[in-house]
Structure 1
């Protein structure tokens, strides 16, 4: 499939998003399309290319729906309901996907299409006629951050965990535009892929303008966004000091959401938003959207919470209000009230990175480093926001780490983290309670292959450097 993308041209979509990074950067008026040979002839066209690349993230096949939904139902806390699910995501919830399935193929296709499009920006940004050095740097820096974001999601989905085997086959590193006669890219190693992601983000930090939070549109990657992605990257590979340091830089001076903000439906940006996928009325995915699957009415409304997960919330925890038993809608499982519609069905921005996640990364890293008091403080900050009467933890060692990981589940459910959290730490996978498909296996069991997606058959068929022998274990 990657072979068919090599000479793809960039589609530049019309947007109504404004970007306030500087006085005039990316304040783009809606346009139709730009011919490929005109893209890098001037700065306005080049910045339209960047906005077109960002707009691809709102696709339901990638960040707009598939990634966050699948990353939670391949866990133990949430599920697709067993009835009235219109067969959406059922094979993913059952952890019974095949290399030919759309859920495997579509994110891969969408991710690499975006990676190849931003490669054109990376390769041409520094030679745009009439652009200032700051403008060229901003274009390249954001393109590199986007490329890193895509590769990080792909490596989490299609590769073994770094902790399991850093030398295992990973994804392809789409680090340049390939000519039609060039050799296809083969699979890199897990370690090399993470090094590539980190290097892109570190380079983006050199290029991006250092702006205050209120000077930047969170629909685009700022330096703060690059810090957050580096924190995620180093967390995946167990580089605790690096992950902690970048998490602290990412959440610095950000106020956490209030309880009222949390109850507002997670449908638009707030004080702790670091990066959000921006939707407009024009590209609202309607029924193929996050609120369509989560909100109890007006959409597919098929996401449910496991009873054993709901039991982990104290009645005094405001987040317990995200769950509702309503027999007239579902007499067996908890509805989820975390993600609402904004005015019309399916319309809502998706908050992709927020400060609470960064504080929890800090807590996990400090605990791993043996700095238990600092870990307890970071954990308490998140716990006390939604549960003011909670006592600060006195746990240490593995008990403290387990408490922090549980808090990640409570705070970040539905936001697309649980699958990777289980996998990156090689945790046991146990579904119990009212799950309609149950599992119980550890990282030493053969079934653990289910935690990694197969390489799409379409890629194997199209790529001369990837064969059936290179397919992931279990497929």
Structure 2
């Protein structure tokens, strides 16, 4: 896999800010690009260099075409959020929304390329940390952190480029790389989906056992972050018992924030943030941030809307419905705020982009853990526990004071609807549709400008392996996803 192998000998250790203009681009933006790469062995020759190498891995995940792009793509591929039609968006996320990605799609190419950059750098830690001139305790900690990052990356990869685990665990997943590849080694083929998930879980459980429990930064892998990711992985696999167990563990020390905190723009951490990307004024995604596309004031790209059906799913008393209140301008009086429909759907004010483009990006929070617990317990038949977990979210939103009266499938559907309302804009809906075997069906919609109907297992619900990778690694050519 030559596209992977080009990252085998160097580690990214620094970034600079480059102000660039893009042809046909609405805005200028800050793009983070690596400015320093060092030989892998040299990167592990001192404690300072090792720390810089680890920082480099996290920095790779902040590339605007990677994590932010995947979150936004997962939103527009679901049924609740859409990207506006027409040229005002400069075609960003239009291919994803229409499910017309090709092997040459740059977004899909970035997901693959940057995932394997992160994996390659993590694998350098696996290989070189044992001989590094640091204490054994630090060696274990760095190894655990690297394996956690590798696992989280593989989780993104296998969901984009393979069928859902719940549809076909025996199907082709993505190539598993456990160590750096040498130029003379045979390029790897795709491993089975079930084996990729087993690899992810093995890495995460190693990290859970070996990371210090006193880590407090939400911007680096911690025990709570790993447990939250494990809860998400097990939910995706349909392992309800472990999903519920890990959700409880992840949220234990992360109480839900107030309802008012849900209306402050999602750019600064609250009590419930478990894992996030730290975005600084001197190192940020600029107009390619999640908040830019959700911005309702045309300060950012301002090109995402929610459908009428989704907007109407919020009760009038739901505190989260206030996330759609938009003033006449960013500086206008609060009294001018109203629900504003523009183009195909309603404007969204969940994320703030008016005060700064250096917005931290939350990736895991405890509200998701409550909802994982609720769904898992409901599917296990433990409805009292499911209803209590669901009530915590509904009480905070102001829509319930007592547990739900629903049972069976109706309770599960209520929980899934609550997931939609709580977590939209955070990259979940598309993957929820896949793991619950619902596919993507927009038939009957009067607002979606692209009507699609892809049943579970449809080839269009899986991204193509990029052509650049197929050209570099002939082993993968006969393993391309069907239909591309």
Same fold flag (TM > 0.5):
yes
How far 1:331 sits from its partner (Å)?
A: 5.3
Corresponding residue of 2:336: none
Matches within 5 A, 1:293-442: 293-297=293-297, 298-324=299-325, 330=342, 332-341=344-353, 343-344=355-356, 346-431=357-442, 432-442=445-455
Contact 1:360–1:379 (CA under 8 A) maintained in structure 2: yes
**What SS does the corresponding residue of 2:305 show, helix, strand or coil?**
strand
Deviation per residue, 1:351-395 (Å, 9 max, x gap): 000001111111111011100000000011111101254542122
Distance (whole Å) between structure 2 residues aligned to residue 331 and residue 423 of structure 1: 28
Q: Residues 15 and 387 of structure 1: is their aligned pair in 2 closer, same or farther, counting only changes over 3 Å? A: farther
Matches within 5 A, 1:124-273: 124-129=128-133, 131-211=134-214, 216-273=216-273
Distance (whole Å) between structure 1 residues aligned to residue 349 and residue 247 of structure 2: 28
76, 87, 90: which one pairs with 1:86? Answer: 90
Contact 1:267–1:342 (CA under 8 A) maintained in structure 2: no
How far 1:442 sits from its partner (Å)?
A: 2.7
Give the TM-score taking structure 1 as reference length. 0.91
**What SS does the corresponding residue of 1:12 show, helix, strand or coil?**
strand
How far 1:464 sits from its partner (Å)?
A: 3.1
How far 1:138 sits from its partner (Å)?
A: 1.4
Distance (whole Å) between structure 1 residues aligned to residue 422 and residue 240 of structure 2: 21
Q: Residues 167 and 331 of structure 1: is their aligned pair in 2 closer, same or farther, counting only changes over 3 Å? A: closer
* Structure 2 residue 46 is matched with structure 1 residue 42: yes
Distance (whole Å) between structure 2 residues aligned to residue 15 and residue 38 of structure 1: 21
How far 1:33 sits from its partner (Å)?
A: 4.3
Distance (whole Å) between structure 1 residues aligned to residue 100 and residue 37 of structure 2: 42
Q: Residues 204 and 256 of structure 1: is their aligned pair in 2 closer, same or farther, counting only changes over 3 Å? A: same
Contact 2:162–2:193 (CA under 8 A) maintained in structure 1: yes
Work out the number of aligned pairs and report it: 451
How far 1:423 sits from its partner (Å)?
A: 0.5
RMSD after superposition: 2.0
125, 144, 148: which one pairs with 1:121? Answer: 125
Give the TM-score taking structure 2 as reference length. 0.89
Contact 1:308–1:433 (CA under 8 A) maintained in structure 2: no
Contiguous gaps of at least 5 residues in structure 1: 17-30
How far 1:324 sits from its partner (Å)?
A: 4.2
Contact 2:75–2:429 (CA under 8 A) maintained in structure 1: yes
Q: Residues 319 and 433 of structure 1: is their aligned pair in 2 closer, same or farther, counting only changes over 3 Å? A: farther
Deviation per residue, 1:74-112 (Å, 9 max, x gap): 000001111321111111101111111112111100110
Q: Residues 261 and 328 of structure 1: is their aligned pair in 2 closer, same or farther, counting only changes over 3 Å? A: closer
Distance (whole Å) between structure 2 residues aligned to residue 185 and residue 273 of structure 1: 37
Corresponding residue of 1:101: 105
Deviation per residue, 1:39-69 (Å, 9 max, x gap): 1011111011101111111111211x21110
**What SS does the corresponding residue of 1:200 show, helix, strand or coil?**
helix
Contact 1:279–1:348 (CA under 8 A) maintained in structure 2: yes
Distance (whole Å) between structure 1 residues aligned to residue 116 and residue 137 of structure 2: 27
Distance (whole Å) between structure 2 residues aligned to residue 294 and residue 361 of structure 1: 25
How far 1:328 sits from its partner (Å)?
A: 8.6
Q: Residues 342 and 248 of structure 1: is their aligned pair in 2 closer, same or farther, counting only changes over 3 Å? A: farther
Deviation per residue, 1:165-223 (Å, 9 max, x gap): 11101111122101010011110010000000000001112220012xxx511000101
Distance (whole Å) between structure 1 residues aligned to residue 225 and residue 8 of structure 2: 30
How far 1:338 sits from its partner (Å)?
A: 0.7
Which deviates more from structure 2 when the two are superposed, residues 135-144 or residues 68-77?
A: 135-144
Deviation per residue, 1:223-255 (Å, 9 max, x gap): 111111111111111111111111111001321
